[in-house]
Amino acid sequence: MELWDAYNSSFEKIEGLTLIREEEDKIPEGVYHLVNHILVKHADGTYLLMKRDPTKPAYPNMWEATAGGSALQGETALESALRELREETGIAAESLKELDRSLGNTSIHYRYLCDTDCAKDSIKLQAGETCDYRWVTKEELLAMPDSELVGLEMLKYVK
């Protein structure tokens, strides 16, 4: 069972309220949990795409322009983003640049940029989450059809 901290629309933690991932459809109106999205840009200007595992219930086999996921109970958005980045890609970043944050239906979405000079062949896949990766140029990324790519909202940060 995955537990999440609860937040209000002002991005403040609600003390004493715990949310349960498996009961996401029961989150009260005006209550949110933290979700992070990390766009990875290499020092050579290319971007990392991760292919979602075919067993994922949402968007199987689609390319994702981000790593990321939900913050676990007790984690800040940044701590969660650094953990998710490490778990899903093997990249152990020391810091991330916050790009923005916004409210979704039941989530507060934090968007980050990871600038890295990691060895491009050092990317690690996470079983059950990712099954492939590739580095693409800005032009290749922006030319991908929407039907192949998840995380389209991150494309506005591709520069």
pLDDT at position 59: 93
**134-148 pLDDT, tens digit each:** 999 999 999 999 999
pLDDT at position 36: 96
Phi first, then psi: what are they for 109, rounded to 5°?
-100, 120
CA 125, CA 75: separation in Å to the nearest integer?
Answer: 23
Give the amino acid at 89. T
CA 93, CA 105: separation in Å to the nearest integer?
Answer: 29
CA 42, 91, 21, 15: dihedral to nearest 10 degrees? -100
Which residue numbers in the chain have pLDDT < 70?
none
Q: What is the DSSP letter of 32?
A: B
